[in-house]
C-alpha cells in the first residue's frame, strides 16, 4: 500500500539548539548566534516497527549529526537559506519523503521572543 504524505509516520527532532553566524548586519556577522531547530521527518516506518531492525528505519542520529556539523560551520545571511540546507540534509536519506524544518532565531527582532522560518520540502523538491 502506498501512503499519502498525510498518512506517513513522523520522526520529530525537537529544540536542537545550535550556534552559527546568521544575519545580514555587520554585528550579526561577528559572532555566532543561537538558533533553535525543529525537524519532522515523514517516512514509512512500518517495516522497522515489524522487524525491530535499525536498518529498516531512518537513522535520525546521523541526520542530527550532519545537521549539527553543517550549522556549526555555516555562515548564511538568511534563516531561509539555513532552513533549506537543513531540509536538504534530511532528504539525503531516500526513506525520508518529506522534511518539515523550523528554524528560530531568538532575539532577532526587538520586542519579539523569536523569529521563525518554517518550510516543508519533499524528495521531488530536491531534484535539479
List the grid coordinates of 74: 555555516
**Amino acid 127: pLDDT:** 83
99-103: long-range contacts (C-beta < 8 A, 24 or more apart)? 99/39, 99/40, 99/41, 99/42, 100/39, 100/40, 100/42, 101/37, 101/38, 101/39, 102/37, 102/38, 102/39, 103/35, 103/36, 103/37, 103/79
Q: Domains plus CATH for the chain?
A: 5-126 (3.30.1130.10)
Q: How many residues does the chain have?
A: 128
For the whole model, what pTM was predicted?
0.92
Q: Give Cα separations from 106 to 57, 98, 111, 114 (angstroms).
A: 33, 26, 11, 4
Q: How far, in Å, CA of 70 to CA of 40, rounded? A: 18
The tens digit of pLDDT for each residue in 79-128 reads 999 999 999 999 999 999 999 999 999 988 889 899 999 999 999 998 87
Helix (H, G, I), strand (E, B) or coil at 110: coil
Residue 26: beta bridge partners?
none
- CB-CB contact of 28 with 15 (8 Å): no
12-27: per-residue pLDDT in tens? 999 999 999 999 999 8
- The C-alpha atoms of residue 2 and residue 46 are separated, in whole angstroms, by 12
- Known catalytic residues are 105
68 — pLDDT class (breaks 50, 70, 90): very high
Amino acid at each position: 500500500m502506498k501512503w499519502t504524505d498525510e498518512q506517513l509516520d513522523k520522526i520529530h527532532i525537537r529544540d536542537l539548539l545550535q550556534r552559527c553566524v546568521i544575519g545580514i548586519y555587520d554585528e550579526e556577522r561577528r559572532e555566532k548566534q543561537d538558533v533553535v531547530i525543529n525537524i519532522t521527518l515523514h517516512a514509512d516506518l512500518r517495516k522497522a516497527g515489524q522487524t525491530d531492525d535499525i536498518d529498516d528505519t531512518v537513522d535520525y542520529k546521523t541526520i542530527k549529526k550532519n545537521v549539527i556539523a553543517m550549522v556549526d560551520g555555516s555562515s548564511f545571511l538568511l534563516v531561509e537559506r539555513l532552513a533549506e540546507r537543513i531540509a536538504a540534509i534530511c532528504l539525503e536519506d531516500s526513506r525520508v519523503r518529506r522534511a518539515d524544518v523550523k528554524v528560530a532565531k531568538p532575539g532577532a527582532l526587538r520586542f519579539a521572543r523569536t523569529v521563525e522560518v518554517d518550510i516543508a520540502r519533499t524528495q521531488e523538491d530536491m531534484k535539479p
